[in-house]
Amino acid sequence: MNVEHRDDPETLSVQAQVIRVTPTASTRIVDHLAIEEPLEIRVESLEGAVRRTKSLAITMRTPGHDEELAAGFLFSEGVIRESRDIIEIVACGAERGAHDGQNIVKVRLADHATVDWPKLERHFYSTSSCGVCGKSSLDALDVPGIRPIPREGIRLSREAICSLQEKMRADQSVFHQTGGLHAAALFSDAGELVDVREDVGRHNAVDKLLGARFTAGETPLSNRLLFLSGRASFELVQKASVAGIPMVVAVGAPSSLAVELAKRFGMTLIGFVRDERFNIYHGEWRVQ
C-alpha cells in the first residue's frame, strides 16, 4: 500500500490577537488557535468493469495525518477489513477550491474490495461532532465482522491506569499551544505510550490513530489500550471494538449505549479517570 504523507506540525495552529481579562487588568496578548478545516474523503473502487471515484464523507478536522484519518474512517466503519484492501491513499490536486490539495484525500481500493455504495450513501455523513446522530438501536448501528474480545490478555494496575493521562499530555504538542484539541492515545499492556493523535474532532483523533496502525498491518490491536481525552461515546467504543481493542479508558463519562456495547463485546470500559480515581463500567477483570 502506498500512503503519501503531507503532514506539517507547524501548520496545525495559528496565532491570534486576543484580550485576556483578569480581575485586575485587561491585556492584549498573542494566543494560538487550533486550525479547523473540512476534509473530503473520496473512494475509488471497481464497479462492474469500470473504476469510479465517489465522495464518501466530509469531516471537519485539524489538518495533519489526513491519510491515516481516511484509512481509519473506512476501517472503523467497516468499509474495508484489511490493509491489502487499499492500493494507495493520496492527497488530490487543488480541486473545488481546496487549498494546495490538502482538503481532499482519495483512497484507491483494490479490485477485490467491493463497496456497497447505496448503503454507504444512506448512512455516511460525518462531522467532527455528529457521530451517530440520534440513533439508539445497536442493531441499526452494527458494523459487520466485530467479534467478542477474549477475556485473557491485557491487564493493568490501578496505578498504571491513573498515570495514563499525564503520559498522553506530555506528548500533546498542539494541545499545549492551543488547549483546543481532543486526543486519542494507544498504550501497551505495560502502560507505556505507543502513539497519540490530536484533532478538533474526537472521532477524527481516533480514526487517525487507528488508521496509522491499520495501514501498518498491525490490527487487530488485542494488546493495546485506547485512552480518550474526553467522554466515551458509543461511536468511539465501536471504533475500538472494530480494531479489537480490549480496554477503553476515558477522562469523561461514557454514554449508556457505549456501556451496552462494551458489555456486548466483552470490553473493559473505564471513565472519569482523574485525581487517582476512576469508574469501571464493565470488564473489571482486566484491572489488577
> Mean pLDDT, consecutive 10-residue segments, the chain of 288 residues?
47 72 78 79 90 88 91 92 94 52 85 82 48 43 78 92 91 59 93 93 94 95 95 91 96 88 93 90 92
pLDDT digits (tens, 9 = 90+) for 141-200: 567 678 899 998 899 999 999 999 999 988 766 555 555 688 999 999 999 999 999 898
The domain segmentation of the chain, as residue ranges, is 158-286
pLDDT digits (tens, 9 = 90+) for 131-152: 444 333 445 456 767 889 999 8
What residues act catalytically?
130
pLDDT on residue 126: 44
Residue 182 grid cell: 481532543
pLDDT on residue 200: 87
Look at domain 158-286 and name its CATH class: alpha beta
pLDDT on residue 207: 96
Whole-model pTM: value is 0.80
Nearest residue to 147 via CA among 204, 226, 81 = 81
Residue 248 grid cell: 477503553
Q: Report DSSP letters for the chain, one per residue.
A: -EE-----GGGSEEEEEEEEE-SS-EEEEEEEEE--EEEEEEEEEEETTEEEEEEEEEEEE-SS-HHHHHHHHHHHTTS--SGGGEEEEEEPPS-TT-STTTTEEEEEEPTT----HHHHHHH----TTTTTTT---TGGGPPTT--PPPSSS--B-HHHHHTHHHHHHTT-HHHHHHS--EEEEEEETTS-EEEEEEESSHHHHHHHHHHHHHHTT--S-TTEEEEESS-B-HHHHHHHHHTT--EEEESSPBPHHHHHHHHHHT-EEEEEEETTEEEEEE-GGGB-
Contact of 214 with 195, CB cutoff 8 Å: no
| Distance in Å from the first CA to the final CA of the chain | 40
Nearest residue to 283 via CA among 265, 263, 268, 264 = 268
Contact of 30 with 4, CB cutoff 8 Å: no
Q: Report the distance separating Cα 107 and Cα 71, nearest Å.
A: 8
pLDDT on residue 101: 45
Question: Phi, psi at residue 68, to the nearest 5°?
Answer: -65, -40
